[in-house]
Structure 1
Amino acid sequence: MTKNKFAYSLVLLTGLFLLSQCSPKIYSSANTEFFVLGSEIKEDPNLRNFVAPYKIKLEAEMNSVIGQTKETILKTGTGETPIGNLVADLQKEYAEEYFGYNIDISIINNGGIRNTLPKGNITLGNIFEISPFDNYLYVLELNAEQVVNLAEFAAQTKILGINGLYIESQSEELTKLLVNGKQVEEGKTYLLAVNDYLANGGDGMDMLTDLPRKEQSTILLRELLIDRIKLRTSRGEIISAQIEGRQNFK
């Protein structure tokens, strides 16, 4: 009996010892090292040579010309801007062709358009500068009341580029609203082309988060811009845009 107890104890201690050797060990260290980033840092020739062929290829691709403009397409304006009109137009045009049904309204947040288009050649790099974020194309369904809410938001915030809506406001109060030249119809379902950032409530657009999603694509905004500009260029068109009076604020 004593031998059995001794053997049992020996096995138990051995098991505990082995378990302790397998358990993770945590070591603390107070050693820190700071690296100065600046002109004092010498270029690593090996790293430079490794990156060089990729850099050359990327620069060549980004400098490839996909279209031309008549003049610089600017971001200037209150609510409505030339570049905002262009992006909203191309987004609507692409969504209609890709999904196969009429889009009533297309909107873009002006803050999401990060640059202008220069006069002359449009390069692939220009489009990446305009739309550097991975924003995806969505199509939402709106009823008449929700269209009015959207127009009121645009009049109050003045942050949207718009296609399909004509709005007038006085002191941020909506005074006139048309959808493609017509009064809003009760009982009608309207289709809205929009990016996923706004559809998910970005820039304060919480009114969009619960709307039915007719389409939730993985098409990037810059991809559709590139596609439409190349298409127009193949037709011999020069890209242009200006403020047309889609949004009138007093």
Structure 2
Amino acid sequence: MVKPISLINRFLLLGFLLLLSCATPLPKSAQATFISIDDQAEIHEPSERFVSPFRANLEAEMNKVIGTSSTELNKEGVGETSLGNLITDLQKKHAEETFGYPVHISAMNNGGIRNILPAGDITLGHIYELSPFDNYLFILELNAEKVRQLAEYAVTRKSLGLSGLYVESQGGTLTSYSINGEAAEEGRTYLLAVNDYMASGGDNLAFLIDAPRKEETDIVLRDLLITQIKKKTKKGEKIEASIEGRQKIN
């Protein structure tokens, strides 16, 4: 019987194709057949029987509940969003717990957030959908000038989640900013938690490229979110965040 191919099936098929790509190369052929992998693709029954046990295990794992949210957390907002606030707060907390020193600012590019967190149960699958990329946690050292550049970027691009850095603008121009309520000081070093994509200048953050790296880790954003959400759940806390005025962009 012909059935539509599911998202899990496509995920598993991609995994098998990646495994095959590691095998001994076959001789090149001048002939090729394009196989479309989408919702309209037909399932090959022998392959379906082979994949089925793996799919069942994967679905069971992805459906595990790791937390509960009172409201939907999303990217709605101008610069500041409820989901951006949550991610940057958890990223900052995880960095401080991991390294044992204060992290002044945490930032996340909104474009890297690929889904919402729904009201109610939050599953492992939700986190994988939210953060499908293997982005790694970096800690950068910023001087006062680079903090100002980050603040200017936030109010002009309107595309960052921020924790620890508060910004205000008028007519697209930065009017004030502070780090945890204090003005940036010349000669002082501030620590910024970001992902490696941002640290490497992604999303036009070129001014971060030459910022000294205090930590370059193999901690994946997705994994730290799962860890922190589980910790909150263990303490009986719900996963909550809201737009609270960290970015007053006019």
Q: TM-score range by the shorter chain?
A: 0.7 to 0.9
Match of 2:114 in 1: 114
Equivalent-residue separation in structure 2 for 1:239 and 1:175 (angstroms): 32
Change (3 A) 1:46 1:195: same
Q: Which 4+ stretches in 1 moved above 6 angstroms?
A: 38-41
SS in 1 for 2:78: coil
How many residues align? The count is 223
Mapping 1:40-79, distance limit 5 Å: 43-79=43-79
SS in 1 for 2:139: strand
Equivalent-residue separation in structure 2 for 1:205 and 1:111 (angstroms): 13
Equivalent-residue separation in structure 2 for 1:187 and 1:35 (angstroms): 59
Change (3 A) 1:46 1:88: same
Q: Do structure 1's residue 192 and structure 2's residue 188 form an aligned pair?
A: no
Equivalent-residue separation in structure 2 for 1:53 and 1:173 (angstroms): 56
Equivalent-residue separation in structure 1 for 2:138 and 2:63 (angstroms): 29
Quote the offset at 1:159 in angstroms: 0.6
Q: Do structure 1's residue 101 and structure 2's residue 107 form an aligned pair?
A: no
Equivalent-residue separation in structure 2 for 1:131 and 1:111 (angstroms): 10
Change (3 A) 1:106 1:39: closer
Structure label with greater radius of gyration: 1
Equivalent-residue separation in structure 2 for 1:28 and 1:53 (angstroms): 33
Match of 2:138 in 1: 138
Quote the offset at 1:124 in angstroms: 0.1
Mapping 1:172-211, distance limit 5 Å: 172-211=172-211
Unmatched segments (≥5 aa) in structure 2: 1-26
Equivalent-residue separation in structure 1 for 2:144 and 2:42 (angstroms): 63
Change (3 A) 1:213 1:33: closer
Match of 1:151 in 2: 151
Equivalent-residue separation in structure 2 for 1:124 and 1:28 (angstroms): 40
Quote the offset at 1:39 in angstroms: 8.5
Match of 2:247 in 1: 247
SS in 1 for 2:218: strand
Quote the offset at 1:152 in angstroms: 0.7
SS in 1 for 2:177: strand
Q: Do structure 1's residue 165 and structure 2's residue 155 form an aligned pair?
A: no
Quote the offset at 1:121 in angstroms: 0.2
SS in 1 for 2:166: strand
SS in 2 for 1:75: coil
Change (3 A) 1:46 1:78: same
Q: Which amino acid aligns with 1:67?
A: G
What is the alpha-carbon root mean square deviation over aligned residues?
A: 1.9
Change (3 A) 1:184 1:68: same
SS in 2 for 1:219: strand
Q: Which amino acid aligns with 1:46?
A: P
Quote the offset at 1:185 in angstroms: 1.0
Quote the offset at 1:63 in angstroms: 0.2
Change (3 A) 1:36 1:158: closer
SS in 2 for 1:58: helix
Equivalent-residue separation in structure 2 for 1:222 and 1:35 (angstroms): 33
Quote the offset at 1:35 in angstroms: 4.8
Change (3 A) 1:212 1:72: same
Equivalent-residue separation in structure 2 for 1:39 and 1:237 (angstroms): 38
Between the aligned residues of both structures, percent identity stands at 54
Residue deviations 1:42-95 (CA, integer Å, cap 9, x gap) = 532221111111100000000000000001112100100000000000000000
Residue deviations 1:133-160 (CA, integer Å, cap 9, x gap) = 0100000000111111110111111110
Change (3 A) 1:41 1:69: closer
